[in-house]
Structure 1
Amino acid sequence: MGAMRMPPVVFLGPSAPASDILSILPDAIIRPPARRGDLYACRILKHEVFLVLDGAFANVLSISPREVVDVVQDGAVVVGASSMGALRAADCAPAGVHGAGMIFRLFKDRIISTEDEVAVLFREDRVFPALTEPLINMRIALRRATRIGLVGKAEAEEVISAAQLLHFSLRTWPAAYRKAGRHLSGELLDFFKAIDTKRTDAVQAANKVLKLLEVDRGPPRASRSPQLFGLLGDGRGRAPDALSGADRQQIEAEFIEWLCCSGRGYPRLDNEIDWLSGELTVPTASVWNILDGSGELEVELMRFNVFCRAVAEARRCGLRPENEDVRQAERQLADAHRVGSWNELLIRKGSGSSFSERLSAHCSELALTKCLRRTSLFAGAPSTKPREVLLWHPQ
């Protein structure tokens, strides 16, 4: 390959055994699941190619999109798949990050969007296989089982609903079936266990890295940033455009109403709202300042944008939420507002008030998004029209 290159670095945990990766990339350096700062540290050591499969989260800082983008802009190649890698590859694809596998595509199309879909419990001394089952593996396995008639659609939906209610550290096939009140045969369990999408995606990503290495036979890439990727300069501190070019006045009222109804504004905005009227007691500019000052404006706008796209897509497809979709939406809103139940939330916010009516309308829209997610993973696209991915663009 001409000039000597640093070997690729692979951040690997419970998604696949190291032997799967080393059989494709024999000189790869296998590292534990990526944490905040790991990519920076490896790039400073002149590594040029990174495969991110697994990442730590919860009790440690997870690898951030900013870190991934900084390293790519510095000239490195980053490929993501399987777990946290798939999520970050979807986040950062516009910046030049490569993704591979089914899970990456589901994240990229916003059919799934949370870390909970890929989260698992594992032993640090023996990372593979995981001790629990990732939710996305369960979704895909059940969908395949329904297609060949091993499982009925109703059973699949009940098991997935039960699995979603389990914490990821308790999520196993037997636990999900017990919670759903269904019987899990040994034959069916073997079928499910044989479908490991995270592992399949990891192998696919390793092959993608191999192809990239074969194509790129030029000299090693020089680091472009002498000051640690902007950490000591202006790169880290540059201010993003939270509106992404949108007209603030065009979306302001709807965005703030979404914040209040969804509970995303709790507890920051609770003291700024007259709940009986549902109106803000402060200028809308103050809400933007509160979020902007905390650095959360861009994140909340992104959540709002994805929500709007999901509602629009569900309506375009003519979907109607089922009772379980509505129940899940009510539970989510009650939890977000820190109350025990949906009925308690309505009472606390004033039954019959203007705000409770808006809250009920928001609950119906949230149920639509849950219906869309469920049908996307079990029934295929409900419309013959090309699906618009759930990415929001303000214009």
Structure 2
Amino acid sequence: MADVICLAPAVQGSIIAAVQRYDPAAIIIIDGAFQAEPAVRHKEILWAISQAIPVIGAGSMGALRAAELYPYMHGVGLIYRWYRRFAFLPDDAVAVLYGPKVVNFSPLTHALVDLRMTVRAAWRRNLISADLSGKLENAARNLNFRERTLSRMVREASPEAGDHDIEVCRQILAGAFVQQKKRDALSALQLMRENALVPAELTNFKMTIAFLQDLEDAGLAI
């Protein structure tokens, strides 16, 4: 079993800070922040890779960055493959609203990708109709990521339904819920535990003024 240190969602400077503090054998990027703080930069990920540190991406921000930085990052999971195949898919498909560090950054909403997988799983199990399945997917897609919950999705999909019917539908979907982001994150951990990673070759990494400014903004230096 690999020794794993779990850190907060990645932001600008997180990768460099982790390398400097922990000297890791590998890095997995799963979640990342992008509103209150600048998002984790492509350049700092490439810097880590240039230091012969394998960087794996999965689940959320990690899947996005892995798709964008192929073939240098190791992408893992269905969500990564989805972004690799469809380059212009919306970033907010994996975004969630989450709580502060004191509650371990627990998610307060559901990602669109998890809601879509859940609706389709419920339809395949004949728990909901094809018509309702389509309405639920459209409702989830049209909601802002800060508002994507099972209850809100069902209410938007069936505005004429009463509270009882909405709760019944919510419970059906909750029973069929697919945590695709979590599945992909666990797959990334399993890859690291197997110790089968070979660092990508990146010998032509170049410092830029913009990158140095990012480091300064994050209070870092290399």
**Shift in Å, 1:135:** 0.4
1:133 equivalenced with 2:110 (yes/no): yes
Partner of 2:128: 151
Alignment of 1:1-395 (within 5 A): 25=2, 27-45=3-21, 46-94=23-71, 96-110=72-86, 113-124=89-100, 125-127=102-104, 129-181=106-158, 183-184=165-166, 185=168, 187-193=171-177, 195-211=178-194, 213=195, 230-231=206-207
Q: Secondary structure at the match of 1:51?
A: strand
Q: Secondary structure at the match of 1:142?
A: helix
Q: Indicate conservation of the 8 Å contact 1:146/1:156, yes or no.
A: yes
Which residue identity does 1:197 align to in structure 2?
Answer: Q
Closer/same/farther in 2, CA of residues 128 and 33 from structure 1, 3 Å limit: closer
Q: Indicate conservation of the 8 Å contact 2:150/2:174, yes or no.
A: no
Q: Indicate conservation of the 8 Å contact 1:55/1:83, yes or no.
A: yes
Q: Indicate conservation of the 8 Å contact 1:230/1:236, yes or no.
A: no
Aligned residue pair count: 201
Closer/same/farther in 2, CA of residues 122 and 138 from structure 1, 3 Å limit: same
Which residue identity does 2:181 align to in structure 1?
Answer: K
* TM-score, with structure 1 as normaliser: 0.46
Q: Indicate conservation of the 8 Å contact 2:119/2:173, yes or no.
A: no
**Shift in Å, 1:191:** 2.0
**Shift in Å, 1:83:** 0.8
The alignment yields a C-alpha RMSD, in angstroms, of 2.8
Gaps of 5+ in 2: 213-222
Gaps of 5+ in 1: 1-23, 217-223, 238-395
| Most deviating of 59-68 and 108-117 | 108-117
- Which of the pair has more CA radius of gyration? 1
Deviations 1:330-387 (A, max 9, x none): xxxxxxxxxxxxxxxxxxxxxxxxxxxxxxxxxxxxxxxxxxxxxxxxxxxxxxxxxx
Q: Give the distance between the partners of 1:121 and 1:215, measured in 2 at CA.
A: 32
Q: Give the distance between the partners of 2:106 and 2:7, measured in 1 at CA.
A: 16
Structure 1 ranges of 4+ moved more than 6 A: none
Q: Give the distance between the partners of 1:156 and 1:42, measured in 2 at CA.
A: 43
Q: Give the distance between the partners of 1:127 and 1:116, measured in 2 at CA.
A: 21
* TM-score, with structure 2 as normaliser: 0.79
Q: Give the distance between the partners of 2:70 and 2:186, measured in 1 at CA.
A: 20
Q: Indicate conservation of the 8 Å contact 2:121/2:176, yes or no.
A: no
